[in-house]
Structure 1
Amino acid sequence: MALASTTASRLISRRLPPPSPPPAAAPYAAALRGGACWARPRGYLSVRWEARPKALMGGLSDADDDDEEVDGRGVLSGAPSLQQDVFELAVASSSGPERWDVLGLGQAMVDFSGMVDDEFLERLGIEKGTRTLVNHEERGRVLRAMDGCTYKAAAGGSLSNSLVALSRLGSSQITSYPELRIAMAGSVGSDPLGSFYRQKLQRANVQFLSKPVKDGTTGTVIVLTTPDAQRTMLAYQGTSSTLAYDSDLADTVSKSNILVVEGYLFEFAHTIEAIKQACEDAKKNGALIAVSASDVSCIKRCHSDFWDIVGNYADILFANANEARAFCELTSEESTMSAARYLSHSIPLVSVTDGNHGSYIGVKGEAIYIPPPSCIPVDTCGAGDAYASGILYGIVRGASDLKGIGLLAARVAAVVVGQQGTRLRVKDADRLAELFESHLDNLEVCSDAETDQVSNF
């Protein structure tokens, strides 16, 4: 436990502060890169944003917390409520917090998901179980073919799943912690889909900060699920592949405590420089930098770009077992533990999930095993995103034992796996956040004998 506790303390601390209480916005990544440790107050990183008009900024409400999905036809038809430019309204209502606890850079894409049969895929010439990039015309052809099917629209994406879960954990009114300030930057068009995406995130208390691209078309992912539970995905990139590092984004990065970069952005050569600039500014201002691997094929295609960013900037890497092996260029026969250990020589903290086999947290050449909590799986999609949110939540809230943080993250993932849909529901987030608060202080002395109690949350 000593190694885990020491690394976690360095992760959430900074160099020794002056005798007087440090300012709430103080960065804390320096200690991870070699500074001394100190015990900070609980919730220290969080910044309260008083006098925030929730009605305008998209506060949580019982009416729609647990149901992010809506009928896809309403979104495509461009209902007047979806065309409202809430970005202008949000900016007019407040200048934002002094600092963001977590800022994510990623692809902003609307998911259209529906149930189809094998004949539907065959008729359209779509290969089952694959993820394929399509153009605007091909997207329209598939959506028109789905006209007789029941399908839903949601503000999707791996990063947004993690940020929404983190925001819901950090917005619980049950705990005494300050509310977390979570934001995302990406790219949406000035179309109804872009307004829909922004509104749905804001309703989950994740502020989408990027202005819409004039005359741009918002990216989408069509998720077709067959009766055997196999998913076939058709991705239309639209504006989602655009990431301009302008002065507004630079200013936001400079006042963020943690920067999370979604791996799908590495697929586009013109975004690499923007990612690098963001990481440079984040590092300069003392923020932690986390990178999510996102996809095996993406890692293989962009291996050198990934390592350029991860090797030089990343403090945290999120990956599943196959993605971790792809990073290391290991064969499928190599163990997940080996991949976690290998990566941890280059990255301070490595989180590697392996489905029902559990997960590992790699630190300085060692791998801490996290056993999976018991659950009845319903839908495994989004499990890794939920796990990442648990890791981030434990770090931001000040837990100092990595195995304890991992156990808590595994519980968040188990809750999502045990439901239909990728988003952590508000009622579950409240329950988990309350349990987090009651146990986080004890994680520093959590022994192997006690981990069963933690994992049974």
Structure 2
Amino acid sequence: MDILLKLDNDLVLEQLALPKGSMQLVDMLMANNVIAAVGHNGSSKASGGSAANTIHGLANLGIQTGFLGKVGKDEWGTFFRKDMEMKNIAPLLLESPNESGRAIALISPDSERTFATFLGAAVELTAEDIPHDLFADYTYFHIEGYLVQNQQLIKEALKRAREHGLIVSLDLASFNVVEDNLEFLREMVRDYVDILFANEEEAKAFTSGLEDHAALDWMGELCDITILKKGPEGSYIKYLDKVFKVGAIKANPIDTTGAGDLYAAGFLYGLIHALPMETCGHLALYSPPESLK
């Protein structure tokens, strides 16, 4: 579950020792303390998580989708399932006696988000839980970097998806997650991933300090399609040996939670419909070129 809370200022992040813009894993006590410290200022909730946000975006665009995960037998798990069903997403949800996981998104006045994440039942999903026929009716498999703490699960899922001929996309998700699992992530991308999404900080961590085109080229050696997101500067897409520049839409952001996830949804929608790479990039921004308007 995503629980979104607006901050009046960033002082509370310092008090809670949460680096701004990062994703920090916390236990249930800390999760409750974060909510208590912030209060319920402008709070909202959604069946979130990085991959779930992308799946929601694709479902909203009319793509047949499913989501595999594990929830608790609690109000959060019930909400998660019903929210998925309302969006016509097939909820392949296992249940745990423990509480559902939740990501508390603390939204700064400048729209940056910082996550305090209690994994709860979500972390209990294992490689053995993957249904035998999970990949039978799908063409794409999208996975998030946040799952990398469970290396056996992510490796088995990627391996099985590849064996079934699915196109695999991975969103690196957070720079500190990349830093903590660098070699494993590089191995997974090299061996199983076709499409890699990264923002500037994630790309810098993944390439050990490279930036811009140097980072894009380095990542492009590991997979077919690499996307480097650069905020207000737009994004770069590398497909084999070609690079495409996609601009940005000027906006006054209120909350950047899920922005990269929905970028991935638009981009994958374009790929599913076999559209040109540059068009996929425009769809990721919901800024279609004149030919599509």
Q: Find the partner of 1:357 among 220, 233, 242.
A: 233
Pairs within 5 Å for 1:82-121: 110-118=1-9, 121=12
Larger RCO (alpha carbons 8 Å, 6+ apart): 1
- 1:165 equivalent in structure 2: 57
Q: CA deviation at 1:382?
A: 2.2
What SS class does the counterpart of residue 380 from structure 1 fall into?
coil
- 1:187 equivalent in structure 2: 70
Distance in 1 (alpha carbons) for counterparts of 2:70 and 2:34: 23
Q: Deviations over 1:241-282 (max 9, x none)?
A: 22223365231124321111111001x2xx222222222222
What SS class does the counterpart of residue 346 from structure 1 fall into?
coil
Unpaired segments ≥5 residues, structure 2: none
Q: CA deviation at 1:126?
A: 4.5
CA RMSD in angstroms comes to 2.6
Q: Find the partner of 1:196 among 79, 83, 95.
A: 79
Residue 154 of structure 2 is aligned to residue 275 of structure 1: yes
Letter in 1 for 2:50: S
Q: Is the 8 A contact 1:321 1:352 kept in 2?
A: yes
- 1:406 equivalent in structure 2: 281
Distance in 2 (alpha carbons) for counterparts of 1:321 and 1:251: 36
Q: TM-score by structure 2 length?
A: 0.89
Pairs within 5 Å for 1:267-346: 268=149, 271-331=150-210, 334=211, 336-346=212-222
Letter in 2 for 1:192: E
What SS class does the counterpart of residue 330 from structure 1 fall into?
coil
- 2:30 equivalent in structure 1: 138
What SS class does the counterpart of residue 216 from structure 1 fall into?
coil
Distance in 2 (alpha carbons) for counterparts of 1:454 and 1:200: 35
Q: CA deviation at 1:122?
A: 7.7
Pairs within 5 Å for 1:213-292: 213=96, 215-227=97-109, 229-246=111-128, 249-266=131-148, 268=149, 271-292=150-171
Q: Is the 8 A contact 2:12 2:38 kept in 1?
A: no
Q: Deviations over 1:18-45 (max 9, x none)?
A: xxxxxxxxxxxxxxxxxxxxxxxxxxxx
- 1:212 equivalent in structure 2: 95
Residue 155 of structure 2 is aligned to residue 155 of structure 1: no
Distance in 1 (alpha carbons) for counterparts of 2:206 and 2:66: 28
What SS class does the counterpart of residue 227 from structure 2 fall into?
strand
Q: 1:279 to 1:141 in 2, by over 3 A?
A: closer
Q: TM-score by structure 1 length?
A: 0.59
Distance in 1 (alpha carbons) for counterparts of 2:264 and 2:198: 9
Q: CA deviation at 1:118?
A: 4.5
What SS class does the counterpart of residue 206 from structure 2 fall into?
helix
Q: CA deviation at 1:119?
A: 9.1
Q: 1:216 to 1:454 in 2, by over 3 A?
A: farther
Distance in 2 (alpha carbons) for counterparts of 1:248 and 1:230: 34
The sequence identity of aligned pairs, in percent, is 26
Q: Is the 8 A contact 2:227 2:237 kept in 1?
A: yes
Q: CA deviation at 1:152?
A: 2.1
Q: 1:128 to 1:329 in 2, by over 3 A?
A: closer
Q: Is the 8 A contact 1:128 1:231 kept in 2?
A: no
Q: 1:236 to 1:407 in 2, by over 3 A?
A: same
Distance in 1 (alpha carbons) for counterparts of 2:190 and 2:14: 45
Q: 1:387 to 1:224 in 2, by over 3 A?
A: closer
Residue 270 of structure 2 is aligned to residue 387 of structure 1: no
Q: Deviations over 1:376-397 (max 9, x none)?
A: 5443332211111111101112
Q: Is the 8 A contact 1:255 1:285 kept in 2?
A: no
Q: Is the 8 A contact 2:126 2:152 kept in 1?
A: no
The number of equivalent residue pairs is 292
Q: CA deviation at 1:140?
A: 2.4
Q: Which of these two proteins has the greater Rg computed from alpha carbons?
A: 1
Q: CA deviation at 1:369?
A: 1.3
Q: CA deviation at 1:321?
A: 2.2
Letter in 2 for 1:161: N
Distance in 2 (alpha carbons) for counterparts of 1:339 and 1:209: 36
Pairs within 5 Å for 1:12-161: 110-118=1-9, 121=12, 125-127=16-18, 129=20, 131-145=23-37, 149-161=41-53
Distance in 2 (alpha carbons) for counterparts of 1:119 and 1:378: 15
Letter in 2 for 1:190: K
Distance in 1 (alpha carbons) for counterparts of 2:257 and 2:41: 21
Distance in 2 (alpha carbons) for counterparts of 1:365 and 1:258: 23
What SS class does the counterpart of residue 289 from structure 1 fall into?
strand
